[in-house]
Structure 1
Amino acid sequence: MKILPSSVVFLRFFVFVLPLWAISFSGISQQINRGAQVFEMNCASCHNFKEDGIGPQLGGLKGVVDKQYLIDFINNPKGMIDAQVARAQDKFKKFKSYMPGFNHLDPQDIQDVIAYILEKPAPKLPNTKGKLALENPIVPKIAFSGETINLKKVIQFPITNSTEPKTRINKMTFHPITKDRVISDLQGKLYLLNSKNELSEYLDISKYFPHFTNKPGMATGLGSFAFHPLFAQNKLFYTTHTEPEIKGPADFTYGDSLRVKLQWIITEWTLDDAKSATVQGKSREIMRVNVIDQIHGMQEITFNPYAKVGDQDFGLLYIGMGDGGALEQRRGFIPNNIEHAWGKVLRIDPLGRNSQNGKYGIPASNPFVGKKGLDEVFAQGFRNPNRISWLKDGRIIVSNIGQRNIESLYLLQAGKNYGWPLREGTFAIDPSSTTNTVYPLPKDDAKMGYTYPIAQFDHDEGNAMMGGFEYTGKAIPALRGKYIFGEIVRGRIFYIPISEIKEGSQARIRELKLRLEGKEVTLKELSKSNKADLRLGQDAQGELYIITKVDGMLYQIVPNE
């Protein structure tokens, strides 16, 4: 037998064996890279690898969770929970909501994303520094008020999604001239609903903006809209929408080294005819904002409906700008900076031109004009200020979606700091350790200068706050003097008496039960879904409406029979 020199053996190994290993390694690397892309598109809004978010963190699963379990759960999470699979049930009990199924994904995409997930190590345990975490921050339960409201089906909107939610109906208000109800779908459409409940398309902004995106979900797309108070004269209205990554120069940025997941854009539309049943006219961009993730974006734009010509607040556009998911990305400095736009309610004059980009105005009455802070900021300290509405007495209520514990309502006042990312409701959080835990307020809290909610509930009661309206209609006298709001996931409806709204204390929340066609119901039952995806609307007469986004149903609250 011929013995080859060791150098020849090594050379043959290098030439013939090593390339096979390299090819295999390259294939695994490519799969993980593809999985990372699938994860960013479909999973990152709810999951990360550092700590729990909307859903559980996914680091350290290799060797702990069977791959087949992950495949089955991604395809049909509800089925796994209903089948009493222990791990699935455990997560459901902890997070109190169902993950949507992703069986529409290509099987290879699922394999790729699982490969990516299983490569991620377990996160380091947070350093709580000996603090006493609160397991149940708010012990008293929300009680049934003893009152039931009656619903009437109005219309089901056209299906715009192949999977749940079947529609992405998000906001309802009314046309200033025709008084038709105006309803938006995050997919890019604005609808008119006339007095005969006939539906027509008012605008499809996806036809106007080539970079318009409504993917991934979680509030991307057509975010909000508002008519100028002088719409009948100037024919101006405003929309917000998302575009992917950097499609234009941003007016608000947070550092070149950090990623830009999306951009939020405010557009001003000038109509040819204010009474037209479809949008015909021209548009111009007035503001563009980078966000680091797809969640907690520009959830609301609105004008003060009670301000009169000559009032300081007349014609000023309020903008609810969330933190963009910054804290989930361990970038708490983004919202926790008065020089930044994120985690704020902004206020601008769209008819002015003294802003830095020259496309809108800065109201002289804004609290940080001439002081340290961004001129556009009206108030700070929000995670996700998703709705802004006015009481008849002129006060402003903002609803704020919390992290893992507290959902809250605030009285909005100029210059105030509502605490995020160092406070969640009336509790402290520590972003340096974990944002999923709340603690009692420190003894020296008063010197911090934070302003606390007028009402709040914890996640025993619901997962996400949905702001609403003071009832100003005439059809249901029992609702007068009440601010009606709700909970998005479970679809519960609440109210607080306006007489109890006082800064510095929390009004007691009461629950309203629902009845349809003489039968007591829940929105989960009506929508046949475990996530009702509740929204509230108001028409020109002050009457209230309930929307279940998951199935696109619109209900009106009507007098009890």
Structure 2
Amino acid sequence: MKKSIYLFFTASFLIFSCSQKSEFGGEISTDSEQIKAGKVLFENNCSTCHSLEQNGIGPNLSGLTHSVESSWIKNFIKNPSAVIEANDPRAVKLFELYKTYMPPFPGIEEKDLDALLAYLHTYETLPDSLPQIGLENPIPDSVPDSGIRIELELYSQLPASDTAFPLAKMTKMEAIPGTERLFINDQRVGLYELIDSKPNVYLPISELKPDMVSKPGWATGMASFTFHPEFTKNGLFYTAHTEPGGTQQADYGYSDTIRVFMQWILTEWKADNPSAKVFNGSSRELVRIDIPSQAHGMQELTFNPNAKSGDEDYGLLFIGFGDGGLTEKRAAHLSNSKGSKIYSSILRIDPIGNNSINGKYGIPTSNPFAGKEGKAGEVYAYGFRNPNRIFWDTKGNMFATDIGQHSIEELNKIEKGKFYGWPIREGRFIINPYGKFREIFPLQEDDEKFGVTYPIIQLDHDELAAIFAGYIMPSGPLQGKLIFGDILSGRLFFADLYDLEKSGVESWGVIFEGKEISLLELCGGERVDLKFGKDASEQIYIMSKTEGKIFKLSMN
């Protein structure tokens, strides 16, 4: 393929209906190495005349393989003039538009054709029936204010780990199972134990992992941690942190045509003395994963707190891993992998097992894709942009919040093996990850064929910009209700998860030192960076990275 190829196709002239589009390309390979080879072929031979964004010397090829038979495309590449002179309707129509012949490639090898189609197949177009302009106000209804206000009191203050906001980058607070010991992280520093509400450094991860970085971005550094349910006996706990791309060989990655900006590392720590106030022990790396940006990585580590010895979930680690910015880097095929990749997924692993590809952890046999060829056995559920918070109710139901791209924030009820829409859906709306994915569109009549499980709560950006869930309140005026909020503004919401159709979502507020005040005002910055925490007695806390403050909610 020494000459530039310009293929004569464009969505404007396709004669197939939207209902038929799903039939095309089913035989095209999704192998990452073949896609990589196809990308090189396209960039070296086709990109002079063709774009995947817009028409040029030749037409925009985005969506080609989803709308035209593979055999037709291959025949045209080999001898375009013969197809035109045979009065093929599609070829003739396009020749009339572009008024030139594409040079023939009769000697092109079949493997190169297959690779080129594999790459082109990673690009789609919107269904013809969609409007050209996205929805300006996808959810016109506003969230009502409940009038409920709850007292706050300052509980603790983390030391500043920087001179500029955010002063302390905490994301999580939890107690060691079966104890009163309460821990909180600072993404730049490591893990603190709160002793009589005072922070005491337990795990100085910045010293123990000198390659760790917590810039750029609010999500980098030590983003999450969790203790094994038998920590008091085995001393095991887990952390997720970032290092620069290329620091070490990754266990999971992608084509080298996409840069590796960061690596997420899951580490197991083993304390020699589980009751010690400062960590002393050993560590081992369980997995290292490449991502192309600082965003949407390994934001959540947790065990099912309701699971008892003998239950399916007991001792299994759940990991919320987003798409890492792959969709924004025009590699949506890696986050839309139907369970074949670990990106955009909630993962479930056995941290003390060894049947994973790298032999450092286990794949539970009860996972939905365990042992299935071409699937990632770690995947428990998939189709998430940024599953930043995973939690369970007392009935055993599992939930996760998912931060949206540009329009919709989600709360999902999680079921094993289900697909939750990203990157082809944002909430209950269509998103085109291969085009203008800052726009969303109404669902189409045939939507059920995509098999999407939709959120039980969706709110647009008129209400909040980045969702983060708290807990189901054990007492007080919001007893039995799930509280959640907007990470940026600190606006607070609640919902009855068991009566959503009737009660919906409402907002609530806080009172501090006798005065009703917004969290944004209380924290004194441009953003709150809201998080929630809980101790062993079910006391709920509100945290803000802006000043590193922790507030206790009145439970009366």
Identify whether the pair has TM-score above 0.5, normalized to the shorter chain.
yes
Question: Greater CA deviation, 342-351 or 510-519?
Answer: 510-519
Residue 485 of structure 1 aligns with which residue?
484
1:308 Cα offset (Å)? 0.4
| Matching residue of 1:404 | 406
Aligned partners of 1:350 and 1:360 also within 8 Å:
yes
Structure 2: which amino acid aligns with 1:425?
Answer: G
State the shift of 1:178 in Å.
4.2
Instruction: Look up the match of 1:75.
Output: none
User: Matches of 2:520 and 2:446 in 1, distance apart?
Assistant: 43
Q: 1:537 to 1:381 in 2, by over 3 A?
A: same
Q: 1:244, 1:506 → 2: CA distance?
A: 48
What corresponds to 2:59 in structure 1?
A: none
Report the AA paired with residue 297 of structure 2: G
Deviations 1:52-109, CA, capped at 9 Å, x for gaps: xxxxxxxxxxxxxxxxxxxxxxxxxxxxxxxxxxxxxxxxxxxxxxxxxxxxxxxxxx
Provide the rounded CA distance (Å) in 2 between the counterparts of 1:281 and 1:511: 45
Q: Does 1:498 pair with 2:497?
A: yes
Letter in 1 for 2:497: I
Summarize the Cα distance change of 1:553–1:308 in structure 2 as closer, same or farther, 3 Å threshold: same
Contact 1:481 1:499 in 2 (8 A): no
Name the amino acid aligned to 1:500. Answer: D
Q: CA RMSD in A?
A: 1.7
Alpha-carbon distance in structure 2 between the residues aligned to 1:127 and 1:340: 24
| Contact kept in structure 1, 2:126 and 2:432, CA below 8 Å | no
Once residues 325 and 498 of structure 1 are traced to their aligned partners in structure 2, the CA distance between those partners, rounded to angstroms, is 30
1:263-287 C-alpha deviation (Å, 9 max, x unpaired)? 0001001111111111110000011
CA distance in 2, matches of 1:202, 1:364: 35
Note the 1:385-534 alignment, pairs <5 A: 385-472=387-474, 476-500=475-499, 508-534=504-530
Measured in 2, the distance between the counterparts of 1:525 and 1:325 equals 31
Hey, what does 1:553 align to over in structure 2? Answer: 549
Number of aligned residue pairs: 429
Would you say the 8 A contact 1:454–1:507 is kept in 2?
no
Q: Is the 8 A contact 2:161 2:189 kept in 1?
A: no
Task: Indicate if the aligned counterparts of 2:320 and 2:387 stay in contact, CA closer than 8 A.
Answer: yes
Q: Give distance in 1, aligned partners of 2:407 and 2:233.
A: 46
Contact 1:178-1:275 within 8 A present in 2 as well? no
Deviations along 1:105-149, whole A, 9 cap, x unmatched? xxxxxxxxxxxxxxxxxxxxx999644521101111111112111
Query: Residue deviations 1:523-553, cap 9 Å, x none?
Result: 1111111211111111111111000111111
CA distance in 1, matches of 2:527, 2:427: 24
Aligned to 1:543: 539
Aligned equivalent of 1:80: none
TM-aligned CA deviation for residue 432 of structure 1: 2.1
With structure 2 as the length reference, what TM-score do the two structures score?
0.75
| Aligned-partner residue type, residue 478 of structure 2 | L
Give the partner amino acid of 2:432: D
In 1, are the aligned partners of 2:133 and 2:439 still within 8 Å (CA)?
A: no
**Cα distance in 2 between the residues matched to 1:548 and 1:506:** 32
Q: Secondary structure at the match of 2:439?
A: strand
What is the letter of the counterpart of residue 207 of structure 2?
A: K
Structure 2: distance between partners of 1:127 and 1:445: 13
Question: 1:500 Cα shift?
Answer: 2.0
**Structure 1 residues 559 and 344: CA distance shift in structure 2, 3 A:** closer
**Equivalent residues in 2 for 1:361-376, closer than 5 Å:** 361-371=362-372, 372-376=374-378
Letter in 2 for 1:551: E
Q: Aligned AA for 1:280?
A: N
* Equivalent residue number for residue 84 of structure 2: none
Instruction: Output the CA distance in 2 between the equivalents of 1:255 and 1:506.
Output: 48
SS of alignment partner, residue 284 of structure 1: strand
- How far off its partner does 1:507 sit? 6.7
User: Partners of 1:451 and 1:202 in 2: how far apart?
Assistant: 40
SS across alignment from 2:335: coil
User: Deviation of residue 197 (structure 1)?
Assistant: 1.5
- Corresponding residue SS for 1:319: strand
- Give the percent of matched residue pairs that are identical in Structure 1 and Structure 2: 44
CA contact (8 A) 1:385 1:401 kept: yes
Question: What is the identity, as a one-letter code, of the residue corresponding to 1:480?
Answer: Q
TM-superposed deviation, 1:250: 1.2
Counterpart AA for 2:264: W
**Cross-structure match for 2:112:** none
User: SS of 1:311's equivalent?
Assistant: coil
CA shift at 1:478, angstroms? Answer: 2.5
Q: 1:180 maps to which residue?
A: 181
- The question of whether the paired residues in 1 share the 8 Å contact of 2:191 and 2:201 is answered with yes
Instruction: Measure the CA separation in 1 of the matches of 2:231 and 2:555.
Output: 32
Q: CA contact under 8 A between 1:177 and 1:275: conserved in structure 2? A: no
Q: Distance in 2 between matches of 1:134 and 1:258?
A: 31
TM-score (norm 1): 0.74
1:163-196: CA deviation from partner (whole Å, max 9, x where unpaired): 11111111111123541221101103211112x2
Q: Deviations over 1:468-519 (max 9, x none)?
A: 11123xxx33332111111111101111113225xxx797111111111221
Aligned partner of residue 449 in structure 2, secondary structure: helix
* Aligned AA (1:304): N
Contact map agreement 1:546 1:555 (CA 8 A) in 2: yes
Give the AA of the match of 2:358: N
How far apart in 2 are the matches of 1:258 and 1:548? 34
Kindly indicate whether the alpha-carbon contact (under 8 Å) linking 1:454 and 1:506 is maintained by their aligned counterparts in 2.
no
Question: Which runs of 5 or more structure 2 residues have no equivalent in the other structure?
Answer: 1-52, 54-124
Aligned to 1:189: 190
Shift of 1:398: 0.1
- Quote the residue 1:161 is aligned against: 162
> Helix, strand or coil: the match of 2:332?
coil
- The answer on whether the counterparts of 2:420 and 2:452 sit within 8 Å (CA) in structure 1 is yes
